[in-house]
Structure 1
Amino acid sequence: MASAPPSIYPNTKQIVAEIPTYIRVFSDGTVERPRETPFVPPSLDDPNTGVSSKDIVISQNPTISARIYLPKLTHQDNKVPILVYFHGGGFFFESAFSQLYHHHFNNFVSQSNAIVVSAEYRLAPEHPLPAGYNDCWVALQWVASQSANNPTEPWLIQHGDFNRVFIGGDSAGGNIVHNIAMRAGKEDLPCGVKILGAICSHPYFLSSYPIGSEIGTRFEDSLPYLVWNFVYPSAPGGVDNPMLNPLAPGAPSLAELGCSKIIVCVAGKDQIRDRGVWYYEAVKKSGWQGKLELFEEDEEDHVYHIFHPESESGMKLIKLLTLFLHE
């Protein structure tokens, strides 16, 4: 006997939206993220790296939290740079608490001798953009506020150098870095704190017109296109919203970026490699007065350093970013 079509069963759970292999949204409101790595707890004195981590609550409404990492410091150490980090995952999966990022930051912090505040922001589709952008701004504001007279986070108070505050992120997080830096060019952070530098690793940008390797492809069917329409369906201008296309008509000038130096990192085999270079060139031509650097790893793919922080290429990038944080 043939099965009846599922449509006659109104309570049957059905997929109502998806990005194949990445995310599925069901008719009952549940969401599956097949590629997301498991969450892991923080750890004091990680046995492999000596790095300590803990989870902190930044805001109750909306719920914004973070995992903070502290390097193993000797008594000779002066205060160290603070890196506020925004994880990748297309704005719709992964977490500051995931195994992937926890492993990466234990390695990164042990090598870079910096405090990392890895922000946990709300994800689409439950919370479409711009919620994630706003959460990351609140996280940065909270970090800056710890330099005031009534701070709450001892690791930042005792060991953080608020004259060396950086922001960083990979993929969608690299896009967040750009948007936070633009906002910092217009809005003051608490206590007069300034962003010293920004790390844009394999940043996610797009426009309605193809560039580079996008030309001659089914551009509007590409993953970057699908992601934006999924995470910000109401975006004014669609993919030409200035948050995704910094060169869109009416977008604010990149000369307004609110930091003193930027490094843009790309990978030669990455689908969005050309957009990272495009962004670098646009900042270079904008009249922005800071120090700008481009780094490319020719034979690597998207966010290789997150997946393989202990690889030769991953360690090479960590060393480069350590110089960026300390020079």
Structure 2
Amino acid sequence: MGSNGKEVATEIRPYIRVYKDGSVQRLVESPIVPPSASDPETGVSSKDIVISQNPPISVRIYLPKQALQQHQKFAVLVYFHGGAFCSESAFSFVETKFMNRLVCLANVVAISIEYRLAPEHPLPIAYEDCWAALQWVVSHSNGDCGSDKESWVCTYVDFDQVYIGGDSAGANIASNILLRAGSEGLQNGVKIKGAFLTHPYFWGSKQIGSEIKDVKRREKLVMSTMWHLVYPEAPGGIDNPMINPVVEGAPSLAGLGCSRLLVSVAEKDPVRDRGISYYNAVKESGWQGELELVDVEAEDHSFHILVHHSENAKKLIQRLASFLVSCAGHGRKSFQFPSRVSRI
């Protein structure tokens, strides 16, 4: 029984509580904040728009300061926020803080997707929302900027420089989007040039690396219980390829639809070994692209967003920005990354 007198059906502490009447209580969330005409810290401008009424999908669009000062087009990052598919928002304080810094440092346009959350909207709904949002972005590439189009996207986006990224569940979404883009393609023949997956939420029934081996204990870990909550009908359960991309029978990672990929993991993150396994699987798949791994010591899952003021958070955000800069070019010399970073 919850403190509100309702009977609890499922509880995954400290994240979420689901009651038998179907109502949901999210226990840890960052407050929602409005967009800004000019962020005081970075000068980044942002606004929110509804891109679809059915299904209901919204986005927060970010413009670097230079966009309002120069008549030029910029690379675009389509971003999927984290939160285990069931919490957080593209409009939350921590996500907005992160995006403002990243847009400022990388000098790109960013479009952060507000997809529908589980368990009210179980997976694969979030995947479909994010795919629809990405297709909406690239639909502006045909040069037709009528009243039904978004002026910032038409005016400022260079569609030869499209990138996607995400953290945690958002990184999982980004990986699955890359596979779908590789097999189905995007509107108007637009290609995804690069992507970054930060602390991707992958899991599976069998132990990898330093993970707990005991099957019964693994089933009680939040990585397992959360997946069953957000995707109760997943074929294969915790070994569905969407959560376990290296499971036998999963689509080949050689089909990832981008030419450059950065995977970042953190030493204290429970899903760290999954990220490294994914990196190795991509490397061994025959994928024809440039692959990079960043491993940060002494940090935990999504620290760069949850502890956004820390020095390591600032350094990792700079690392991601440098990746976008080197992908987009902007007339600058390409950066070279080591396959492993011992400390940043």
For the pair 1:102 / 2:96, whether they are aligned, the reply is yes
Of the three residues 191, 203, 209, the one matched with 2:200 is 203
Unaligned segments of structure 1, at least 5 residues:
1-5
CA displacement 1:218-268 (0-9 Å, x = unmatched): 222111011111100110001111111112232111101111110000011
8 Å contact 1:163–1:193 — kept in the other structure? yes
8 Å contact 2:196–2:262 — kept in the other structure? yes
Q: Distance in 2 between matches of 1:105 and 1:244?
A: 25
Question: What does residue 279 of structure 2 align with?
Answer: 280
For the pair 1:168 / 2:161, whether they are aligned, the reply is no
| C-alpha deviation, 1:76, in angstroms | 4.6
Change in Cα spacing, 1:23 to 1:196, as seen in structure 2 (3 Å) is same
Question: What does residue 228 of structure 1 align with?
Answer: 227
1:1-327 equivalences under 5 Å are 13-73=6-66, 75-76=69-70, 78-151=72-145, 152-216=149-213, 218-327=217-326
Q: Distance in 2 between matches of 1:232 and 1:213?
A: 26
CA displacement 1:69-117 (0-9 Å, x = unmatched): 1110164563221000000000000000111111111222111111110
Structure 1 vs Structure 2 CA RMSD: 1.6
Identity, % of aligned positions:
57
Unaligned segments of structure 2, at least 5 residues:
327-344
Letter in 2 for 1:84: V
8 Å contact 2:94–2:308 — kept in the other structure? no
Q: Distance in 2 between matches of 1:123 and 1:322?
A: 28
Question: What does residue 340 of structure 2 align with?
Answer: none
SS of corresponding position for 2:96: helix
Change in Cα spacing, 1:165 to 1:187, as seen in structure 2 (3 Å) is same
User: Which stretch shows the higher mean deviation, 316-325 or 225-234?
Assistant: 316-325
SS of corresponding position for 2:33: coil
TM-score between both structures, scaled by the size of structure 2:
0.89
Letter in 1 for 2:162: V
8 Å contact 1:85–1:116 — kept in the other structure? yes
Letter in 2 for 1:304: F
Letter in 2 for 1:172: A
Aligned residues: 318
Letter in 2 for 1:288: W
TM-score between both structures, scaled by the size of structure 1:
0.94
Letter in 2 for 1:45: S
| C-alpha deviation, 1:13, in angstroms | 2.0
8 Å contact 2:238–2:244 — kept in the other structure? yes
| C-alpha deviation, 1:186, in angstroms | 0.7
Letter in 2 for 1:269: K
| C-alpha deviation, 1:12, in angstroms | 5.7
Q: Distance in 2 between matches of 1:55 and 1:172?
A: 22
